[in-house]
Chain A
Amino acid sequence: MASIILEYGLYLVILVALGIPLGGYIERVMAGEHTFLSRVCDPVENGITRVLKIDREEEMDWKQYLKSVLAFSVCGLVFLFLLLMTQGFLAGNPQGVKGMRWDLAFNTAVSFVTNTNWQAYSGESQLSDLTQMLGMTVQNFVSAGTGIAVLFALIRGFNKVKEKGLGSFWVDVTRVIVHVLLPLNLVLALALIGGGVVQNLKGGETVDLLEPIAVSADGNVMDNAVIDQNAGTVSVNGKTVAGATIVTQEFVPMGPGASQIAIKQTGTNGGGFMGVNSAHPLENPSSFTNSLEMLSILLIPVALCFSFGRAVKNKKQGIAIFCAMFICLCVALAALAVNEQLGTPELAQNGSVDLSWSAEQCGGNMEGKEARFGIVSSSTWAAFTTAASNGSVNAMHDSLTPLGGMVTMLLMQLGEVIFGGVGCGLYGMLAFAILTVFIAGLMVGRTPEFLGKKIEPYEMKWAVLVCLATPIAILAGSGIAMSIPGVVDSLTNSGAHGFSEILYAYSSCGGNNGSAFAGLAANTPFFNITLGMVMLFARFLPIAGILAISGNLVQKKRIAVTAGTLSTTNGTFVFLLILIVLLIGALSFFPALSLGPLAEFFSQMM
């Protein structure tokens, strides 16, 4: 048992140990300071700004900054949409895939531009190599870059006094991609290739199966069949089955995987190269690649907390925000781990199935999990990927225990602020911090202030919108979906679990997470469009809100710190911040969760 706890602990320790120096590096990059990579990256950055005629000294006000973000995203969206529709006619298509239907193309384009990476398609069968490289990989980089750029625009709002400009979006996004994302992912991609992750342009290979399998006339794999390869017959219980075929070869899809999988993990994108994401043996072959990919999920979100502290010249503030997120993550991880390790009464079958942990087996609920990863790596991944708005999976969340599944759902429903997406998780959390100082400020009889800037009605208006965008999107989306009788056809399960499947889909898109509960056939025009709208709403409303807040803060003077100033770096603040995040999440989703995972959990207890 100690070894299990040690493994969980080790993941967390390595994560933080890597995050702290990276945080410092990102801060120096965004401040335009010299770093050990400047010699290599500066020429690239200068080249880009010169070719694109970017004014490096430009100071945008918040509306210009927002317009730039929107213009950038809309262009990416239109380009990706067209690429997905027309990929069948374009080069770089060794698999010969067809263009997507318009609603799926819309959903997919929105999903990648919003850093959600919800996938209602399977990459290996529906995307060409060209689309993977020019469409998906590019959006993985730029959507992550956009999130970090907006975060730093907010930081400038806190830092600058009585000014107007928040910096230039074009400079910020270029800098993040060139100095941070490209070098980091280059190293990671090479490491993954070394670990056996696929990276080629072959389109795929046909290989012999180790053991032939029998397929019945209606296309199903037949268990318990006896195959006589010489005679070419298939028999079940001694009777020959007519029309059955024997399959001896399989087609293994391949492509430029590692280069995309690296940014998929570090950019909190999560859109798998393959349909089953990192559960696929070519996307995530071993425990080595698994550890790399898993730690990459939270690496930048953790690092940004420390970047934030350094940038606002108050390292303690960064640590406080980090602690609030980290405590929530640990609690969520513990809840998930315990539930998965315990399994459920149904799995145990009154003790006839051995769920206990031993040196030989990892025990617990192994349904939907890869045997090569086991409970610990699967639970940790599930917690990391839903805490961060990553959404890649190495196990099927549909098969998690009811409460384990609820933890992943809740992490997304909290607004993806437990580290969350790169940039957006932290700025979302800062909006919650604004709500927290408001409540706390009132309780000690002072007009609230955060980092020396007064919080007034204007900031409050936008902060509540930022914090409530996710709950609004999820509640409205899932509410509408469930009132439509036809959606039941998309479900694999009925009852409370079927309810969870729909709730999870909207939570995933409303949190810009993108992970799937599986079990929901989401590729219908209804789901594609409504989920697409939910993703757009949950991405761009907070961006607008954060930039508006920043644009207002930047004009304010800084209030002096006195003994009457409420500390935003101590334990009380961290506690209160967690409380507010949990309270808003719980108040919004308690009814929904009680009809889904809670109902399922209590039903099996009876």
Chain B
Amino acid sequence: MAYHEKSKRVLADKKMIGRAVKDSFIKLNPRVQFANPVMFLVYVSAILTTGLWVCSWFGIQDASGAYTLAIAVILWFTVIFANFAEAIAEGRGKAQADALRSAKKDVDAHRIPSAEQKDAITVVSSVALKKGDLVIVKAGEIIPGDGDVIDGAASVDESAITGESAPVIRESGGDRSAVTGGTTVLSDWIVVCITSEAGESFMDKMIAMVEGAARKKTPNEIALQIFLVALSIIFILVTLSLYSYSLFSARQAGIANPTSVTTLVALLVCLAPTTIGALLSSIGIAGMSRLNQANVLAMSGRAIEAAGDVDILMLDKTGTITLGNRQADDFIPVDGTDPRELADAAQLSSLADETPEGRSVVVLAKERYGLRGRNLEEKQVSFVPFTAKTRMSGVDYDGIAIRKGAADSVKKYVLDNGGTYSKACEDAVLEVSNKGGTPLVVAKDFKVLGIIYLKDIIKDGVQEKFADLRKMGIKTIMITGDNPVTAAAIAAEAGVDDFLAQSTPEGKLTMIRDFQKKGHLVAMTGDGTNDAPALAQADVAVAMNTGTQAAKEAGNMVDLDSSPTKLIDIVRIGKQLLMTRGSLTTFSIANDVAKYFAIIPALFLGLYPGLSALNIMGLSSPQSAVLSAIIYNALIIVALIPLALKGVAYREVPAGKLLSRNLLIYGLGGLAAPFVFIKLIDMLLTAFGLA
């Protein structure tokens, strides 16, 4: 099986590479080339040298025809290598887009006039659906467009977009009402109100994004491009003036100008930041692609770059910092109650409680006091379910009433019925709260027995994660509905920097605004419609795919997995994208030093024999020096494609350390590498008698 999968992947890779090779040639179109100024310079140089080679047939030449041809061929390869880098980066996205397209077939939609008239079906094509149309989708049918469920509930297979095969529940009302066109209803039926027209659906946007069609250059990319273009302009001036310098010096020495146009063009291409120029767009595409692989869909490239800059993460407590459910951790009897009696009452009241919290009470009672579940069918039993109004649940049997619930509710319940609520109980409640736990007070026949200590379980490893984030300068803020005391205790245990207790949508929005005013960039996740204002305000806003349409519209990323920890991955991918650009730029520029040492002595050896002292690589001849430098220049693009696609290694360390490390690897490496490889290429060329 594993072998089979591997061979399948190899096959897919082969197909992808084939496609990329084909695309590399299609991209030779001047209009495509023009979009990338640095590579356009190489493109023009390739055309120019080819022209010079053609001229050499007619005897118009300042360097030998074979040499000019060799330079021209290498320059063409440089252009094609750059195209290939971009094509291979796009390949992954294209494959994903193809898969999505196949899911996005035109289907028949069953339009109905209103939710009440479910049988008055008109069959129309999905492309003809308008905003506000109502459609009914039954088991086995494909949902014809994006929309909100306004009636019914169904399990839906969303694997077409998420890749996750487990079905999800979509139902009217609440935060799980959004459905995506192209997904399949597995059971039951739903009535969907269409919210986007054909061509603008989520699936369409997704295809455009993964394919790179909607990829606009981000501000940071533009700034880098400005820098690269400026460097290229300087190098154009350097080579132009060098021709004049050389002419001047040769005239003074009374010899012919030793510098040919062909060599100068080669020098120009060597000096221009072609390495980063060739890989720049693939780095961007690959970053986007990595995000897609993490099942996050960015609505713009800007969002992913902003993710790298984020310094405040607003994280929901539940699911991110703590396990989703609280667990019973202790029974605390008060007023001299026997602990066993308390455990017994607590267990009885929880037997019918199917929530994880209720179950954990039963488990704890069994572990601590060996109390087994009893068969309650035999006795006169009626369960009192939890309601938002009473905020209590419990059981009545044999005329005994047991209740458990929030402290203030139980207090009111007991006092109203003539019982007493002791100071000791109040103290115990407070103590549990202070420890970050949730106290549930248990009363039997209006007498308080004690407290169940429900504890939030902090996820494994979050403390370390937050400490790492702190080192990188990212503050974590825990958002929770708990009261401030509980929140503070959990915040301290999890190691977050700050918290927002008893959070409301308005509270979140205010907090984001405050941070932004102080100059911070804030990231958050949200799913509900009431999160939409905060999502719209945050700099990086990740909407859960399970969330409402409003939340998805407000965010600038959608997490298809709906995982609350995804935010941390997004930050990492954002930073990695910028780092890859920076590191390869440094590498590219550092390379120039060696290239100078290869070419300049070679150029002027005839004029000033003393300059051979600068030929520290000991290259065998002027021609082989130029050829070696330019071959290295072309090959390094191919060699760095994997790095551009994968991104440079990323570690959660402070900025200063990260800088020193990358400077050492890519700065010093960029300085040294070409010396070694140009020499090697020169030795090969000489060995095969090519130069």
Contact = CB atoms under 8 A, between A and B. Distances in A.
Contact of A443 (B237, B249, B663): B663
Contact of A557 (B271, B472, B519, B608): B519
Interface residues of B, number: 82
A250 interface: no
Contacts of B676: none
Interface string A455-481: 111011100110010011001101110
B223 interface: yes
A488 B252 contact: yes
Contacts of B243: 479
B53 to A, nearest CB: 25
B615 to A, nearest CB: 11
Interface in B303-322: 305-306, 308-309, 311
Interface in A507-526: none
B245 A444 contact: no
B475 A572 contact: no
A591 interface: yes
A446 B307 CA distance: 9
Scoring B305, B611, B666 by chain A CB atoms within 10 A of each residue's CB, the highest score goes to B611
A479 B244 contact: yes
B251 interface: yes
Given A444-B579, A564-B473, A587-B271, A496 B655 contact: no
| Chain A interface size, under 10 / 10 to 19 / 20 to 34 / 35 or more | 35 or more
B534 interface: no
A460 B227 CA distance: 7
Contact of A559 (B230, B248, B519, B578): B519
A121 B583 CA distance: 50
Interface string B246-283: 11110111000000000000000001000000000000
A443 B662 contact: yes
B689 interface: no
B604 A456 contact: no
Contact of A476 (B241, B521, B586): B241
Contact of A475 (B226, B237, B590, B658): B237
A598 B655 contact: no
Nearest to A496: B608
A465 B227 CA distance: 10
Interface in B531-578: 574-578
Interface string A566-606: 11001010001001000110111011101100110111111
Interface of A is mostly: helix
A595 B309 contact: no
Given A445-B308, A464-B230, A563-B470, A482 B586 contact: no
B614 A499 contact: no
B309 to A, nearest CB: 5
B368 interface: no
Contact of B609 (A447, A475, A606): A606
A432 to B, nearest CB: 12
A560 B248 contact: no
A458 B647 CA distance: 27
A226 B579 CA distance: 78
Given A445-B575, A602-B608, A567 B224 contact: no
Contacts of B583: 442-443
B602 to A, nearest CB: 11
Interface stretch (B43-51, B110-118, B592-600, B620-628): B592-600
Interface stretch (A60-68, A292-300, A380-388, A433-441): A433-441
Interface string B198-232: 00000000000000000000011011101100110
A88 B34 CA distance: 58
A495 B519 CA distance: 59
B247 A446 contact: no
A444 B655 contact: yes
B616 interface: no
Contacts of A440: 582, 659
Q: Which of A443, A563, A584, A602 is most buried by chain B, counting CB atoms within 10 A of its CB?
A: A443
Contacts of A468: 230, 233-234
A498 interface: yes
Contacts of B579: 442-445
B663 A442 contact: no
Contact of A562 (B473, B593, B600, B658): B473
7 contacts: A441-B578, A444-B575, A485-B251, A562-B475, A591-B245, A595-B607, A599-B608
Interface of A: 435, 438-447, 452, 455-457, 459-461, 464-465, 468, 471-472, 475-476, 478-480, 482-483, 485, 488, 494-496, 498-499, 502, 557-560, 562-567, 570, 572, 576, 579, 583-584, 586-588, 590-592, 594-595, 598-599, 601-606
